[in-house]
Amino acid sequence: MNTVVRILRMAARYRFRLGLGVVCTVIAANFQLLIPQFLGAAVDHAQSLLAGTGASPAEAQAALQWAAVMLLTAGVLRGLFTMIHNYQGEAIGQSIGYELRLAYFEKLQRMSFAYHDRVHSGDLMTRGMLDVEGIRRFVDGAMLRTIVLVILVGYGGYHLIGIDPVLGALALSFVPVVAWRAAVSSITLRRTWRALQERMSILTRIMEENLGGIRVVRAFAARAFEMAKFDTASDSAIVLAMRRIQIRYTNAAFMTFSYYAAMGLVLWVGSHKIIEGAITVGTLAEFLAFMAILQQPVRQVGMIVNSTARAFVSGGRVFELLDMDPAVQDKPGAAPLRLTDGVIRFEHVDFAYGEGEGASPALHDVNFEVGPGKSLGIVGPPGSGKSTIAHLIPRFYDPTLGRITIDGQDIRDVTLDSLREAVGVVQQDTFLFTATVDSNVAYGDLSADRERIVNATDSAQLHEYIDSLPTGYDTLVGERGLTLSGGQRQRLSIARSILLTPAIIVFDDSTASIDAATEQRIHAALKELTRARATIIISHRLSSFMHADEILFIDQGRIVERGSHEELLALGGRYKELYDLQADFGDDLGLAASAAAPEGA
């Protein structure tokens, strides 16, 4: 559906406001059109007196006063009705902005990971901030203004043609020119806006990544490099911004000229007509005053065209997301998960990121089962698919083949909320909100009291540190690591997950930045919690899951070795190799020898 039509439809739903707005617009326009008539009459009275024809001075005086009162009244009423219609316009615009903002927010939160992997957060921000604004501005600026313009030109033109067809036609002769220029420029402007918006998105992305990765930028002394990157993007946007201005103001100048040309024609022909006695001076004055009223709206045509073109592009970008269906969502009629034991099973699971051509296979034929009180360890080289397994359990993505069940129920058949409540994943990549420690820990459960929060942070071995801070749990932590070290952030993220006491817990390499001693204490503290739950531990440190009931060694998406620690050691395969590297056999590895050599690492 055409974007602008869709926006107009949204506006049409504010029937009362829109109706009131349009009615007031018509009334205000009428009063505005009355003004030239009163002025014309006043001029005629003055003129007729001067010429010694017609009324007596007293009558003329009264007529002038009458005209003045009418002018004032028309002014006041016009102002009042303009106020109402402007306000209604803005109210509709703001309400639509509000609606779109909510819909956008809601959709955005539900879009699955696959979408967010693909779309840059800077783009999403631009749409939510600038594009929604663009639509709002169109509704409140362009939409009702177009109506005003049409009424003024239409009604005024009708009235003028009624008085004098030739002069009336001349007075309106600029309208087709303006309409033509508007149509042409709206197409080119739309194209320019779209391209400009795209380049602005790139610029946004560059700025956002620079600020997000500011430590990298500093570490590499890359300021000049980053500035060059910024300048390239910025310059390519400037080119388009300049083109937009050029189109816009060339048209504006052209439109204004055609308007003045029409006025000149009216003046020329009109003054001849006065000589011929075909019209009075007052009539000409009325014509000219009418045209003067149109001056401002004509200059606004450029703005209207510009903002319509923009709404077109912005609307497209916003509606694109609104019309999308999240790849992962509840099936119709999905029932909540019925947890009995909390057994998680992978049955011949295959998975690939992306679809079609660009798909990159990540898992192949993965099978395992973890029951309550049992634990599963997963190890493997980088990119082998460990995190992918963790992502599939709470349905951040859906498997391409095979199925995952919890207590016998396919996770695609149950509601997302109930599933995610049952599963807790401590992500490998820690994300903290810029907020207090307290609200970060309680993020998943707002009703958690301080005692539960302290319990969770205590288990994660973080309580003592937080307690030692002057502001304790009210200390702010931030996205870039304000207040916390790498390991402390990981522990906060562990605390956040265990606060929810899920039935199935996945630790995705969540102790990588934590020293072994602290990790042992965390595991000891969690023993109670994990006693009756299924636990999956992904780690590169074998001591993290040595005692797991089963250990999987994954490579390139396939399980290549499986068994208990002892079995795997006995197997003498890749697991054993890892073990040897981590165990205390350093001296046999030739590394210790390098301790003597200065270049050793």
Partner 1 sequence: MAMMPQSLAVPGKPPGGRPGGPDGGLNDEMDERIFGAAFDGRIVQRFLKFLTPYRARLAVAFCAVVAFTLTQLSIPLVIREAIDQALVTDTQDGALLDLIALAFLGVIVLNLIAMYIQETIVGKTAERILFDVRRTMYVHLQRLSMSFMDKTEVGRLMARLQSDVGALQEFLDTTVTAIGDILLLAGIVTVLILLNWQLGLLTLSVVLVLLIVRMIWLPLAKKAFMRARQTSSIVNGALAENINGVRTVQEMIRERVNFERFEIKAADNLRSHLRAAKFSQVMIPIVDTLTGAAMAIVVVVGGNMVIGGSLDVGVMVAFIFYVQRFFDPIRSLTIQYSVMQRAMASGQRIFEVIDVPVDIVDKPGALALDQIDGAIELRGVTFGYLPGQPVLNDINFRVAPGETVALVGPTGSGKTSITALIHRFYDVWEGSILVGGHDVRDVTQHSLGKQVGMVLQDPFLFTGTIFENIKYCSAEATRDDVVAAAKAVDAHGFITRLPKGYDTMLEQRGGNLSLGQRQLLSFARAIVADTKVLLLDEATASIDSHTERQIQLALKSLLAGRTALVIAHRLATVRGADRIIVLNQGRIVETGSHRELMAKRGLYHRLYAMNYASFDDIPEEIIRQAAADTSAT
Residue 81 or 346 with smaller CB distance to partner 1: 81
Closest distance to Mg ion from the beta carbon of 506 (Å): 11
Q: Give CA–CA dist 428/423, Å, rounded.
A: 15
Q: Among Mg ion, ligand ATP, partner 1, none, what does residue 528 contact (CB within 5–8 Å per kind)?
A: none
* Residue 325 backbone dihedrals phi, psi, to 5 degrees: -105, 135
Closest distance to Mg ion from the beta carbon of 6 (Å): 42
x-or-dash pattern for ligand ATP, window 513-552, by CB under 6 A? Answer: x---------------------------------------
Closest distance to Mg ion from the beta carbon of 538 (Å): 7
Token readout for 160 is 């003028």
Closest distance to partner 1 from the beta carbon of 523 (Å): 6
Closest CA relative to residue 523, chosen from 372, 341, 377? 377
Q: Decide: is 475 part of the binding site for ligand ATP (CB under 6 A).
A: no
Q: Give CA–CA dist 581/482, Å, rounded.
A: 35
Closest CA relative to residue 14, chosen from 85, 101, 91? 91
Residue 248 or 374 with smaller CB distance to partner 1: 248
Using CB under 5 A, pick the residue from 79, 165, 336, 486 that binds Mg ion: 486
Q: Give CA–CA dist 152/297, Å, rounded.
A: 9
Closest distance to Mg ion from the beta carbon of 429 (Å): 8
Q: Decide: is 393 part of the binding site for ligand ATP (CB under 6 A).
A: no
Q: Among Mg ion, partner 1, ligand ATP, none, what does residue 199 contact (CB within 5–8 Å per kind)?
A: none
Q: Decide: is 467 part of the binding site for ligand ATP (CB under 6 A).
A: no
Closest distance to partner 1 from the beta carbon of 548 (Å): 10
Q: Give CA–CA dist 36/501, Å, rounded.
A: 77
Q: Decide: is 387 part of the binding site for Mg ion (CB under 5 A).
A: yes
Count each helix (H run) and each strand (E run) in the chain, helices first.
Answer: 22, 12
x-or-dash pattern for ligand ATP, window 113-132, by CB under 6 A? Answer: ----x---------------
Helix/strand/coil for 335: strand
Is beta strand 550-555 parallel, antiparallel or unpaired with respect to 375-379?
A: parallel
x-or-dash pattern for ligand ATP, window 483-512, by CB under 6 A? Answer: xxxxxx--------------------x---
Question: Taking the CA of residue 150 as centre, how many other CA atoms within 13 Å lie in the half-sphere pointing to its CB?
Answer: 9
Q: Among partner 1, ligand ATP, Mg ion, none, what does residue 179 contact (CB within 5–8 Å per kind)?
A: none
Closest distance to Mg ion from the beta carbon of 382 (Å): 8
Order of strands across the sheet with 409-410? 360-370, 344-353, 401-406, 409-410
Q: Give CA–CA dist 349/400, Å, rounded.
A: 7
Is beta strand 534-538 parallel, antiparallel or unpaired with respect to 375-379?
A: parallel
Closest distance to ligand ATP from the beta carbon of 234 (Å): 30
- Angle between helix 3-12 and 15-50 (nearest 10): 90
Closest distance to ligand ATP from the beta carbon of 403 (Å): 19
Find out whether 299 and 178 touch, Cβ atoms under 8 Å: no
Q: Decide: is 428 part of the binding site for Mg ion (CB under 5 A).
A: yes
Alpha-carbon Rg for the chain, nearest whole angstrom, is 36
Token readout for 512 is 């990588």
Scanning 40-48, 313-321, 398-406, 479-487 for contacts with ligand ATP by CB under 6 A, the matching segment is: 479-487
Whose CB is nearest to Mg ion? 387
Closest CA relative to residue 366, chosen from 346, 352, 384, 382? 346
Question: Taking the CA of residue 89 as centre, how many other CA atoms within 13 Å lie in the half-sphere pointing to its CB?
Answer: 23
Residue 155 or 465 with smaller CB distance to partner 1: 465
Q: Among ligand ATP, Mg ion, partner 1, none, what does residue 26 contact (CB within 5–8 Å per kind)?
A: none
Residue 375 or 430 with smaller CB distance to ligand ATP: 430
Q: Among ligand ATP, partner 1, Mg ion, none, what does residue 30 contact (CB within 5–8 Å per kind)?
A: none
* Longest pairwise C-alpha distance within the chain: 126
Closest CA relative to residue 421, chosen from 370, 497, 365? 497
Which residues of this chain interact with ligand ATP, rule CB under 6 A?
117, 353-354, 360, 362, 380, 382-388, 428, 481-488, 509, 513
Which residues of this chain interact with Mg ion, rule CB under 5 A?
387, 428, 485-486
